[in-house]
Amino acid sequence: MRLQPAKVDDWLFGQDDNLAAGETAEDAFDSFGPISDIRRALQRPSHHPVAQGPHDFTRILVAEGDAYHRRVLRVLLASPRISAIEVEDGQAAVDLLALRSFDLLVLDMDLAQLNGAEVIRWVRRSLTPWADIPILGLLNDKHRHEAGKLMSIGMTDWTTKPLSRHHLADKIVHLLPGLYDAGL
C-alpha cells in the first residue's frame, strides 16, 4: 500500500502524519547528515572553558604621548598573537576603552588632556566590565618616585623608560600568562 505524499507546506512546517513516532520532518529529510544531531549538540551547554586559540589576538591598548616611544613599543610588541592599537593622549585612551575590548593597557604617565594618573582613576572608578583591566605603567625618571602612589590608585605593574625588550616582555607575560610563548 502506497502512502499519500505529504503536501509541501506540511513537510516544510513539520506537520506530516506519515512520520514514525518521535521522528520530525528534519529527521526525515536531510541531505547533509542528521541536522537534528547538530541541533541537539548546539543546544547542549559546553562545560569546557574556552581557551585562546592560536588565531586569536591579545588586544593591547598603548597610550604613549611620544612618537618615538610608540614606535619602540610597536617593534617590541610585534607578534602574530598581539594586536596593539596606539593612541597619543589620555582622552583618546579612555574613549577607545569605552568602544572596544582590550586585554591590557600600556600607559605612559605624561599624556596630553588626561595624564596617566587621571586615566588610571577613571578606569578604576568606571562601573564597566573593563574596570579591572591590567594597567602597565611606563614611568620615566620624573615619575619613578610616584610608583607606590600610582599602584595604590590602581596601576597593576610598571616598567621604566627607556624600555628594555626583556623587561617589558617579562612584565607583559606576568600580567597575561597566556603570552608566554608569543615570542616577545
The domain limits of the chain are 58-179
Q: Is the CATH number of domain 58-179 3.40.50.2300?
A: yes
What does pLDDT average to over the chain? Answer: 77
Mean pLDDT of 22-26: 52
Q: Is the peptide bond before 45 cis (omega within 30 degrees of 0)?
A: no
pLDDT at 7 (0 to 100): 53
Residues 6+ apart with CB under 8 A from 124: 131, 153, 154
Mean pLDDT of 155-160: 92
Query: Distance between CA atoms of 96 and 59, rounded to whole angstroms?
Result: 12
Query: Distance between CA atoms of 64 and 30, rounded to whole angstroms?
Result: 57
- The answer to whether the pTM exceeds 0.75 is no
